[in-house]
Amino acid sequence: MEYKNTLQNKTDNRPIAFFDSGVGGLTVFEKVKKLMPQENYLYFGDTKNMPYGEKTEEQLIEFADKILHFFERKNAKAVVIACNTSSAVAYKKLKNNYKFKIYPIIQSVCSTFAKLDVKKLCVIATPATIKSHAYSREIAKYNSSMEVVEIAAPNWVRIVEEHRINQPQSIEQVKEILDIAQKSLPDKIVLACTHYPYLINVLKKFIPEDKFIDPSVYFAQNIKDDLIKSGLINNKFEYEKFYVSADPQNFQLASQLFYKITELPELILDM
Q: Residues interacting with ligand DGL, by CB under 6 A?
A: 20-21, 24, 50-53, 83-85, 126, 129, 157, 193-195
Least distance between ligand DGL and beta carbon 52 (Å): 4
**CB-based contact 137:88 (threshold 8 Å):** no
Residue 143 burial (C-beta neighbours within 10 Å; 0-12, 13-18, 19+): middle
- Kind and range of the H or E run holding 43: strand 41-45
Give the active site residue among 193, 220, 223, 233.
193
Using the minimum distance from each CB to ligand DGL, give the nearer residue, 146 or 153.
153
Rounded Cα distance, 119 and 146, in Å: 5
Q: Which residues pair with 38 in a beta bridge?
A: none
Using the minimum distance from each CB to ligand DGL, give the nearer residue, 68 or 232.
68
Secondary structure letter of residue 211 according to DSSP: G
Using the minimum distance from each CB to ligand DGL, give the nearer residue, 85 or 107.
85
Using the minimum distance from each CB to ligand DGL, give the nearer residue, 12 or 46.
46
Give the active site residue among 78, 81, 83, 160.
83
Least distance between ligand DGL and beta carbon 161 (Å): 8
Q: Is 83 a catalytic residue?
A: yes
Q: Is 193 a catalytic residue?
A: yes
| First-last CA distance in the chain | 36
Least distance between ligand DGL and beta carbon 152 (Å): 10
**CB-based contact 242:263 (threshold 8 Å):** yes
Listed residue (123, 190, 174) closest to 150, CA to CA: 123
Least distance between ligand DGL and beta carbon 38 (Å): 27
Active site residues: 83, 193
